[in-house]
Structure 1
């Protein structure tokens, strides 16, 4: 793990203070409110709708039968594409992507997924509608484990599998096929969970916030507002947590020890999906309102744009192969996957 000693500020102190307010957690299952909640029943931000495409997508486009809902790439070059209706995951070999019509390995699932995570030689796919976690080997074998509570996101810390549980408003630790414990309190929703510098962080889209998760104390810890409409979250090799604020059009970076907003960078155009290239320190971000994907160098004091490409329609998902720098963008409206080599 690489570390940094400081995070330069990218916004004025006043603006950061206005957008990021500490949010206290509380016990129980009741709806959470705070001083910045301006409506009685908040709704989660979603991807901005894309206009009709007017520019040919960069790279090559591979047809897929269905809407792409999530993407992931393994270290040895297996591309996983989650597709809805019917719900399945398509596994492509890296070397086959150059072919005109590559044939994937098809893995059927009990329901659609919105998140894919590669852990070692295994692909983890939470299936919220089926209350299950699908474990898929990279050669296509699947094993389904029950996970009550609408699992949406998954990560691994040491030997513990952590699941964000949207309906139970908490983070569950999957142990020997059982969720024990489920850490809740202070969340309106649990939509994804990541680990940065050994510390779990959960994303709450309804509250547009990120929260610490104390596994040993079995508690949801300190939370911070993440703009006005947080949608997606990834981590990098510097221990940072990046969040897309789709409503306000911004890219936020948090440290985790302590949990603080360190960077706020405006990104107009419907910022939504993200993927991190660990070899080149590039953060790839999709702009659904513009049908674009942008590559930001995040090594310096602020993100620096290095690449910008036109994409397929409604580019809600993106992944990057750190071994080759190849970027894959998925269309949520049936236009397939787009393969770009910067």
Structure 2
């Protein structure tokens, strides 16, 4: 149980277009119509046409840089002893936050930076001009996710793969929130709308839907293809997606009826460890083994 990793992919026959072939993308995020894709060496930021033309803004990253996240109109890259804040509107204007504890994942919420790592059972909170604060957690953090909520600050959850758990941060009271086990082997999670978090249970294999209004709650699960890893919310079609690296296929689920129902599919690039959607429903998948960034305008209905 726990310690899930994505299965290696067979040969692929991806839908749509593929750009940036040869780049091994390790992460992907979107802020509105702006895309950020990270390789081991660089962060690329730009609109869809920038990526098609090969003109996305490139920021060279250090060897310690790891998780990429989208929060508060910024892209956030955790780089060990610093955290990079990259505005989606001006990706060349990078701000570096110094860290007190090693940061491998971070999100920016309400002007404060929340950072964690897979070794320490705490989240460190940074605010400009103030001393850092530490918040004890039930487990360390492999991934922090900031999820928008209508009329309220974003909610924050952390995912820990060794214990296969998800836990929210109680921001109102500045303390750890509830902890839930995610099936038998959590992969990645992704923010949805109004407190929803879409999670891939890689080992089950299942899609899991959580809400984070005041405390994290499991709302729905459904079986999916083997080895789902990447997860995403489709704001245009209101669908929750997970991508199977074993099948090179992403499936979209309608969650409006209380049980996830498969409604759409996309054949993906190999080793699509990260997927995302633009506001108009354009699908993006980033290959971790050099097949590039996949762009699909319209998924296939099931």
Question: Is 1:94 aligned to residue 67 of structure 2?
Answer: no
C-alpha spacing 1:137/1:262, structure 2 compared with 1 (3 Å): closer
Unaligned runs of 5+ in 2: none
Matches within 5 A, 1:52-63: 52-53=11-12, 56-63=13-20
Deviation at 1:283, TM superposition (A): 1.9
SS of the residue corresponding to residue 58 of structure 1 reads: coil
Question: Is 1:116 aligned to residue 66 of structure 2?
Answer: no
Matches within 5 A, 1:1-342: 44-53=3-12, 56-75=13-32, 77-84=33-40, 87-97=41-51, 99=52, 101-111=53-63, 112-120=65-73, 122-127=74-79, 130-138=80-88, 139-141=90-92, 142-176=94-128, 180-195=132-147, 197=149, 198=153, 199-215=155-171, 217-256=173-212, 257-322=214-279, 324-342=280-298
TM-score (norm 2): 0.86
C-alpha spacing 1:265/1:271, structure 2 compared with 1 (3 Å): same
SS of the residue corresponding to residue 104 of structure 2 reads: strand
Partner Cα distance (2:31, 2:3) in 1: 30
Partner Cα distance (1:131, 1:92) in 2: 26
TM-score (norm 1): 0.77
Aligned length: 290
| Larger relative strand fraction | 2
Partner Cα distance (1:143, 1:192) in 2: 19
Q: Is the 8 A contact 1:298 1:304 kept in 2?
A: yes
Unaligned runs of 5+ in 1: 1-37
Task: Tell me which structure has the larger Cα radius of gyration.
Answer: 1
Deviation at 1:254, TM superposition (A): 2.3
Tell me the alpha carbon deviations over residues 68-111 of structure 1, each in whole angstroms, 9 at most, x when there is no partner.
01112221x22211011xx21112322345x5x53222111123
